[in-house]
Amino acid sequence: MCVIPRSNLCKPVPTLRRPFHRYHPIFLPSPRPSTAPSDHHIQRAGLTSGPLSLSPPLSLTNSRFPPARRQPTDSITQTIHALSQSSRPRPRIHFLISPSEPLPPPPTTPHPEALASPPKPPNSRPNAPSSGHTPDDIPVAPPNTPSTPHLPSSSWNVTGPPPPLLARDPDSDPTHIYGDNPQPGNSDTGSNNSEDGPPRTGPLLPSVGAGTGTARHPLRDFVSGTLDLLYYGPISMGTPAQTLTVDIDTGSADLWVPVNCRNCNGHQFDPARSSTYRNNNQGFAVTYGSGQVSGTLATEVVSIGGLTVESQAFGAVNQESRDFDGQPNDGLIGMAFGTIAQSRHPTFFENLIQARRLATPLFSVHLARNQATGSEICFGCYDSSKTAGGITWVPVKSKTYWSVGMDAVVVNKHAASTNIYAAIDTGTTLIYLPAQLAASVYALIPGAKKANQYGNGFYTYPCMSQPVISLSFNGKRFAINPYDFNLGRTSSQSMDCVGGILALDNGFASNLAIIGDEFLKSWYSTYDYANGVRVGFSPSVNNKS
């Protein structure tokens, strides 16, 4: 989701739901409307007023990724038509930008390594960059965990007293925390802040602690046709526990669920049934790129996969816009940094770290492709059974989003150089680039052209071209599966396909890209708070032949 600060850093991006930008909250200076956006607002957000009619992609046998089975459903028609039908599931934007923690200016020098050599064509799977290594220091997830996504796992309860808190010396400068970039303070080699030196522990970012807990928590994939719209899982709240489902979003930092909400669908949390519910009588409101929620701030016992926080701040939402109609999840949990939380409280994951509940202060995410089950989030662990290669670490540039440095987008053997931040966001379906960069990328695909008839930011390209596209983070390249990039043909007789990289509205931050599930389905991602704050990418088992 894209939460926009009270500054004019961002304007509402296309009101797309999950398959595009999922829930990125957008903070506006004026009061947020409590009902669904009007047609006028939808048009200003970049949506078409009518349905988009697309056909499934051509069956191309020479794809260098293994062929994926597509359902005989016009998924693109279903999905993009849903953008103008409030009663249908929509792609959303889950990207939050905090007014108090804006992104610092990007590094002044691009990474020349990104353009040093042309990318190797992928074989049966995207190859891990040569600098990748096996994460021997990360606990391996326990095997044979329950796969049912509707009930919380009881297999991973934390037992025994926690060990002493291991606080990091803010003045220390261990080179190993920078992973593959051993020169702290140099923007070209992976500084993790806007300032030189190792990252500081701020008031909303807990000190690194050591505990004993890990938990593999199953997620469910909400599939529409052949598009993966939403990844969500169960959460337990209250005493006794009540089970709801939440969307897992690394692009925002607030937890919210419906409470006494008259216009909300699905399950709601009932505070009258809980002895530990506390209402703080403070307002809570978030405006997303595709909807708004509001209510009050409260605290409650929250548990996921047997890992529990006794007093977790959350939004008790009593009003949702109609954008949330038809979604299978009840609420949302933000997994970005608490510095951008609208509640101004630590996130659930940061509280687990503070309470020393985790063996390692990290979490990992596997997103399955076109199947209801099989996705998971792994708290305090790395599930090697979901990967097909070693892990490559990329330093985080700002403790707001999980943002890394992007220095190029490579199309076949040609690169569109850039120098921006890329927010890794499980809450966004597709990939969004600044408008100028998106134009440069599609200029490298012969025959590609703008397709604003489908909404602002869309492009089409010749289906037969099958471009191999890679993103370069901090000089390391990661390929996008062509199956995910190709959203479908514009009609059953057309040879043009719609591309899965969209241009951000010109009012959005010009130095920011949003990297969603279109990319993450090919790369198992690990989000590490301890070692300099970094994101790791491993080739996903999704791409095995």
Task: In whole angstroms, give the CA distance from residue 445 to residue 342.
Answer: 40
Which has the closest alpha carbon to 288: 85, 425, 436, 433?
Answer: 425
Task: Count the helices and strands in the chain (H runs, E runs).
Answer: 6, 24
Q: How far is CA 66 from CA 59, 121, 483, 545, in A?
A: 12, 13, 9, 6
Decide if 249 is catalytic: yes
- In angstroms, the CA 140 to CA 540 distance is 16
Residue 401, both tokens: 């989003």
425: annotated active-site residue = yes
The set of long-range contacts for 274-281, using a CB threshold of 8 Å and a minimum separation of 24, is: 274/237, 274/238, 274/239, 274/240, 274/242, 274/300, 274/301, 275/239, 276/238, 276/239, 276/300, 276/301, 276/310, 277/238, 278/311, 279/316, 280/313
Integer Cα distance of 460 and 418 in angstroms: 22
Q: How far apart are the C-alpha atoms of 526 and 339, rounded to whole Å?
A: 20
d(C-alpha 106, C-alpha 341), whole Å:
22
Residue with tokens 């509940």: 357
**Within a 13 Å sphere around the CA of 89, how many CA atoms are in the beta-carbon half?**
22
Q: Among the options 188, 425, 484, 505, which is catalytic?
A: 425
Active-site position among 249, 484, 517, 528: 249
Q: Can you read off the two tokens belonging to residue 161?
A: 């007293």
| Angstrom distances, CA of residue 526 to CA of 369, 376, 520, 523 | 18, 12, 11, 10
Residue 535's Cα: distance from chain center in Å?
12
Q: Which helix (H) or strand (E) holds 308?
A: strand 307-320
Q: Catalytic amino acids?
A: 249, 425
